């Protein structure tokens, strides 16, 4: 009986399956026979007579009837939740007027899909978009969020996926999750605001540990106040990642703007990062390049950990506890960076074969701090105006320090329980102690610090109350500690060379500001410090300090305001001075209009004198060269007419007298139009001679 009942049930089930198999083809045929349209319009609340075969009231219906490759126009409105919208064919959805869509859209097993101009929002759907097994999908010009739960977009096993000009806001979980095998994903010119708020250890853009992604580019986006991380590539992920030209900011400091544990090369370039625990953090990614970023107000500005052949270059890092922190690196380089206002500019921790070169350190508590490292090269850096030490070496071996400028610290170089230290061809000046040594855990190891400039031609000085085991320094330069070889030293003062004095204006009104600049160059074989002096009438008005590496030059610039009428001699560091004429009364006085008029006449007259001098030289050359008399007479006639015009304009009788008294002719009202005509005429005379001499 029991077996019989089971047999009956089995037969009934078999019958049902056979009936289903017979019926399904009918449904398939009906679906394939349904009409489709190249364009479909959607409106949730249009008049009844608006609706027809390709004018519908919901997006799901539109997707079902649009032709492959067709376009769906979603008109303004609010489209209430449907369980899911399934897209399995090529199509384009264009929102007009940012329609509000409160449903999820799945894009599966298809290609060539564009979603544009939708405002996606909901309190509890799983995800706004799922993109899986697709090629060439673009989501652009859309708003995603708020969303109470779920992910903004989940991308899995796809290629050529683009997010452009989107806004992701107030999401409880990630904005974008990229997982599985993905080839070529681009996120650009979008905004991420307060995403991933309800999930720990996640990010606005997240590559989980199972992600295998090639050519991921995140470019030109703005990240604001996202929870914990903005971009996260988790442990064991394999992501070829480029992060460039983005802006990352937080109101309250938390985690990282970029945190990558991927085992592929990472490039982080041209970003602005502010207020994070670790602004940029890259771990285990050999060949990583971090360059041209601006990072500020972080605990660790740039943190690079446990990788080989890393490059950190041309970044500007400021106001952070550790500007650039390099830990457990091998054969890596930090070059061309600017570090300012950090507790430590560059920190090397347990590195091997690392080079720090051509960086600028200003106002850091410590410039460079190397701990438990070996084979470190520190070359051609400017390390100045700090507090504790320019370079600190702690339990570090094999350090070569050359061609650096180190000044303005309590200790220029502090060697603490370190050995194999070579210090040569540096300028070590203006420090409390030039080279300081301290040995506690190891026996004293001599520091070879020969051939340095110590700030005085007689060499370094001694530290009081120190008993030296070797030669005692007796000079007047920066002091050196015990166990330091300092002799021979560089005994000739390295000077800066100044040239090309430039003054923006030479005739001004009282209260005007002019710019005075000059080029300063280091032609020495070692770095130098310089103090450029702006002098007015022989008195120092302002100074600018700096430092230059060998062969470098810079332009020093001063803004100078002159208030009282008169002539001022202006120069920088002994260059031939330039006279600046302050003419007339202060701005706003009754004489201001006259002074402007008078100043213009003086300018044109000085231009005339310059051309007049050229004419006289050319006329003599042309006469000696055998230029015909007719040409010479024509040129002289034009010149004499110009002189007559100028003298008449100033009511003067002698050109030389006018030249001598021009700056003292107060009360004269020149005919400015005649002054200008005279200048034009004298240029004509010069042109006649120049043409004849060609």
Strands (E) across 43-164 are located at 55-56, 66-74, 78-79, 85-87, 91-95, 100-101, 105-108, 111-116, 119-122, 127-132, 135-140, 143-147, 151-156, 159-164
Sign of the Cα torsion 64, 66, 70, 74 reads: negative
pLDDT digits (tens, 9 = 90+) for 253-295: 889 999 999 999 999 999 999 999 999 999 999 999 999 999 9
Residue 15 pLDDT class (50, 70, 90 cuts): very low
Domain 592-693 has what CATH class? mainly alpha
Using DSSP's 3-state secondary structure scheme, residue 605 falls into: helix
Strands 352-357, 333-335: parallel, antiparallel or unpaired by DSSP? parallel
Q: Is the pLDDT of residue 588 over 60?
A: no
Domain positions in the chain: 286-493, 497-582, 592-693
C-alpha separations of 489 from 391, 411, 458, 658 in Å = 20, 18, 9, 60
Answer whether 430's CB lies under 8 Å from 406's CB. Answer: no
Strands 578-582, 566-572: parallel, antiparallel or unpaired by DSSP? antiparallel
Q: Is the pLDDT of residue 679 over 50?
A: yes
Strands (E) across 275-321 are located at 278-283, 289-291, 294-296, 300-305, 311-313, 316-318
pLDDT digits (tens, 9 = 90+) for 92-135: 999 999 999 999 999 999 999 999 999 999 867 778 899 999 99
pLDDT of residue 356: 98
Place of tokens 């600049």: 517
CATH placement of domain 286-493 = 2.160.20.10
Residue 595 pLDDT class (50, 70, 90 cuts): low
Is 1.10.1740.110 the CATH number for 497-582?
no
Answer whether 329's CB lies under 8 Å from 351's CB. Answer: yes
Q: Is the pLDDT of residue 14 over 90?
A: no
Residue 150 pLDDT class (50, 70, 90 cuts): confident
C-alpha of 277 from chain center: 20
pLDDT digits (tens, 9 = 90+) for 391-436: 999 999 999 999 999 999 999 999 999 999 999 999 999 999 999 9
Q: Is the pLDDT of residue 29 over 90?
A: no
Q: Is the pLDDT of residue 6 over 60?
A: no
Answer whether 245's CB lies under 8 Å from 270's CB. Answer: yes
pTM exceeds cut of 0.85: no
């Amino acid at each position: 009986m029991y077996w019989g009942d089971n047999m009956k049930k089995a037969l009934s089930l078999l019958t049902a399956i056979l009936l289903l198999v017979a019926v399904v083809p009918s449904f398939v045929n009906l679906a394939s026979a349904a009409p489709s349209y190249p364009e479909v319009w959607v409106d949730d609340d249009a008049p009844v007579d608006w609706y027809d075969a390709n004018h519908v009231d919901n997006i799901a219906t539109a997707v079902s009837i649009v032709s492959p490759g067709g376009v769906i126009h979603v008109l303004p409105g609010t489209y209430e939740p449907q369980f899911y919208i399934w897209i399995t064919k090529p199509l384009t959805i264009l929102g007009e007027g940012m329609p509000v869509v409160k449903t999820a859209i799945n894009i599966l097993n298809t290609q060539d899909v564009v979603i544009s101009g939708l405002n996606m929002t909901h309190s509890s759907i799983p995800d706004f978009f799922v993109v899986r097994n697709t090629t060439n999908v673009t989501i652009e010009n859309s708003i995603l969020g708020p969303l109470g739960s779920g992910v903004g977009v989940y991308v899995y096993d796809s290629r050529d996926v683009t997010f452009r000009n989107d806004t992701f806001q107030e999401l409880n979980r990630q904005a974008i999750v990229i997982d599985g095998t993905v080839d070529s994903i681009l996120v650009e010119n979008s905004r991420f605001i307060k995403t991933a708020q309800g999930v720990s250890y996640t990010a606005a853009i997240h590559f989980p540990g199972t992600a295998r992604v090639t050519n991921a580019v995140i470019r030109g986006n703005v990240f604001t106040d996202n929870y914990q991380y903005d971009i996260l590539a988790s442990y064991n992920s394999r992501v070829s990642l480029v992060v460039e030209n983005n802006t990352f900011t937080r109101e309250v400091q938390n985690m990282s703007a970029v945190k990558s544990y991927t085992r592929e090369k990472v490039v982080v370039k041209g970003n602005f990062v502010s207020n994070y625990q670790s602004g940029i953090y890259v771990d285990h990614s050999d060949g990583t390049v971090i360059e041209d970023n601006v990072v500020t107000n972080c605990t660790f500005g740039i943190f690079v950990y446990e990788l080989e052949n890393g490059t950190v270059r041309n970044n500007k890092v400021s106001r952070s506890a550790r500007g650039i922190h390099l830990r457990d690196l091998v054969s890596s380089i930090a070059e061309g960076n600017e570090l300012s206002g950090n507790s430590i500019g560059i920190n090397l921790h347990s590195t091997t074969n690392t080079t720090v070169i051509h960086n600028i350190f200003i106002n850091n508590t410590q410039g460079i701090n190397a701990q438990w490292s070996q084979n470190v090269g520190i070359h051609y850096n400017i390390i100045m105006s700090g507090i504790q030490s320019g370079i600190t070496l702690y339990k570090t071996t094999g350090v070569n320090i050359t061609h650096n400028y180190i000044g303005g610290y309590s200790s220029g170089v502090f060697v603490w329980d370190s050995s194999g230290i070579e210090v040569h061809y540096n300028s070590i000046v203006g420090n409390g102690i030039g080279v300081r040594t301290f040995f506690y855990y190891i026996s004293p190891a001599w520091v070879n610090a020969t051939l340095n400039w110590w700030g005085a031609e007689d060499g370094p000085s001694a530290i009081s109350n120190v008993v030296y085991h070797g030669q005692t320094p007796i000079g007047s330069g920066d002091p050196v500690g015990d166990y330091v070889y300092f002799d021979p030293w560089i005994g000739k003062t390295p000077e800066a060379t100044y040239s090309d004095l430039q003054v923006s204006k030479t005739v001004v009104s009282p209260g005007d500001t002019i710019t005075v600049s000059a080029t300063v160059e280091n032609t020495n074989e070692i770095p130098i410090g310089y103090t450029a002096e702006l002098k007015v009438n022989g008195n120092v008005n302002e100074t600018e300090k700096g430092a230059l590496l060998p062969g470098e030059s810079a332009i020093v610039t001063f803004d100078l305001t002159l208030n009282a009428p008169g002539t001022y001699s202006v120069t920088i560091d002994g260059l031939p001075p330039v006279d600046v004429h302050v003419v007339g009364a202060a701005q706003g006085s009754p004489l201001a209009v006259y002074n402007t008029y008078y100043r213009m006449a003086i300018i044109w007259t000085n231009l005339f004198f310059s051309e007049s001098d050229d004419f006289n030289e050319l006329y003599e050359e042309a006469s000696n060269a055998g230029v015909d008399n007719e040409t010479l007479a024509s040129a002289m006639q034009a010149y004499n007419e110009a002189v007559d015009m100028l003298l008449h304009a100033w009511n003067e009788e002698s050109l030389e007298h006018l030249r001598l008294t021009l700056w003292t002719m107060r009360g004269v009202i020149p005919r400015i139009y005649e002054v200008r005509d005279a200048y034009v005429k004298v240029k004509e005379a010069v042109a006649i001679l120049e043409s004849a001499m060609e």
